[in-house]
Copies of this chain bind each other. A is one copy, B any other.
């Protein structure tokens, strides 16, 4: 077997005259008057190899048997191509290899889709043949980028005194949070491990354990119904520190992002990142993860129109709602259909309506214009900077809904108007999230982040008077409208934790039952600590300029949590379930008749034939 001396894609004119051995896959071939040209591809790129009876008749004979995706080993001489045959599309386009010896290392069936970028292939087919999909340069580049990005995270954190610690995957089911994946225990009948939704408890315990600076590139699991940008298992870069303030954590993480973008895609990110309170993010951009690559701020016009003849404005304002406005500069030219579409657009985000006004030929037009008083028009003109050609949009609703509608409208208008620079990377921190949110169904306060999030010291007195106004020392890092990370400083003092549990309506006994060993740990000298977790899949997606998390994962699952390559999940044999002291029930019994388990044993739920 002839094994490679060089890579296909990195040979240069420097090697002209040298004898090399290349290994790779046949990307394509063409015969010109008895001379065979093959594009040989490996991980690094493509090299043209030439079979000519003048070099070796035997090699040509063997080469002629090769088809696409055959694996070849060739030995030959690097030569400069005739300038008229230079291929400017290939980095190696000015040289080629004259084949003296060839070995077909392996044959290949015709692949179900061409192995090249930019080809339209059904994603299900790509996932079923992922091992072929991964041969496409774009996929290889993305996986390489992911590996590089992870390395940059590790190098930075290691350089800053963080210790990587592996925490368990087989852990305990917790009563709060999303749905756990469970793993039945064979040794302990009727008991279950849970796969971690995050290493949250363990990372805080490592701080109690005095490690001071911890990180982990951690696999996390959530058994939730999946959206396009979710995976049942995902990776986060999980970080926790002791004896640092929130500002120190945020500053350090900015340096981490700077290094990440510099060393993976060569982009310089300016620091410090903008910091926006949650309150301002919602009010100005209608989102807690605003895309700040463009301005187009939302304005609050409640004061201006609260006594308006526009009934909905007056009634919303009097019942504690808000009226939010967006000036879509230059959109007065929208068609009637586009304007009519604003109504269903608002409904999609829970809005009851969306009022609009166009300014054309100096005239305000639209259904509500006739109800506006001249002084309202003047005030709106001043507040919204109204000019000829503008489109004004209004949402009157509860703050959350109005913000959501206008935030999404802002994004739509920003995109439509081409305000977004696709090559820009705009980071910001959203800080001062509310500590507690009111659960209307349960009629109680719930933790917005988690029950161990530290409130601002100066807000502690609000536990008694106005829990909803308490600001948490919690922060999200946002990039181009995506939340790419988030974290908080944690409660470390017992009396604050007790206040928090009281606010959540947990008795000391309930708190003990829910968080037992964790609260015990906090009795033994817990240091002030806090941390953050970055969503690696999403960060890589943004670095690679892809639009889908699945493109960043070697073997992803579909929206129905299926691996189309291995066909997991799948039925198992009865004995496996017996070992685990469980059996199928409910829908599983109904569906098993349709399925067959692998191997020779009876599928689970169906007794084996007695011999």
Copy total for this chain: 2
For residue A572, CB closer than 8 A to chain B, the reply is yes
For residue A147, CB closer than 8 A to chain B, the reply is yes
How far, in whole Å, are A130 and B569 apart by their CA atoms in the complex?
35
Contact check, A599 vs B527: say whether CB atoms are below 8 A apart.
no
* Complex contacts, A584 vs chain B, CB 8 Å: 189-190, 581-582
Which of A131, A190, A205, A588 has the most B CB atoms < 10 Å from its CB?
A190
For residue A517, CB closer than 8 A to chain B, the reply is yes
For residue A563, CB closer than 8 A to chain B, the reply is yes
How far, in whole Å, are A243 and B1 apart by their CA atoms in the complex?
9
For residue A54, CB closer than 8 A to chain B, the reply is no
* Complex contacts, A164 vs chain B, CB 8 Å: 147, 150-151
Q: Smallest CB–CB gap between A2 and chain B, Å?
A: 10
Interface residue count for A (Cβ, 8 Å)?
134
Contact check, A143 vs B158: say whether CB atoms are below 8 A apart.
no
* Complex contacts, A188 vs chain B, CB 8 Å: 560-562, 569
Which residues, 135 to 183 on A, are CB-close (under 8 Å) to B? 135, 140, 143-144, 146-147, 150-151, 154, 158, 163-173, 175, 179-183
**Interface bits A181-214 vs B (CB < 8 Å: 1, else 0):** 1111111111111110000011001101111110
Offer 7 A-B interface pairs, CB within 8 angstroms, sorted by A: A1-B528, A69-B524, A70-B525, A170-B233, A173-B576, A186-B223, A581-B586
Q: Using a CB–CB distance below 8 Å, which chain A residues touch chain B? A: 1, 3-4, 23, 25, 41-43, 69-71, 105-109, 111, 129-135, 140, 143-144, 146-147, 150-151, 154, 158, 163-173, 175, 179-195, 201-202, 205-206, 208-213, 219, 221, 223, 232-233, 235, 242-245, 248, 492-493, 513-514, 516-517, 521, 523-528, 553-555, 557, 560-563, 565-572, 576-592, 595, 598-599, 604-605
Instruction: Apart from A143-B165, A191-B571, list 10 A-B contacts with CB within 8 A.
Output: A23-B527, A143-B163, A151-B158, A167-B554, A167-B555, A173-B598, A187-B561, A188-B562, A190-B604, A190-B605
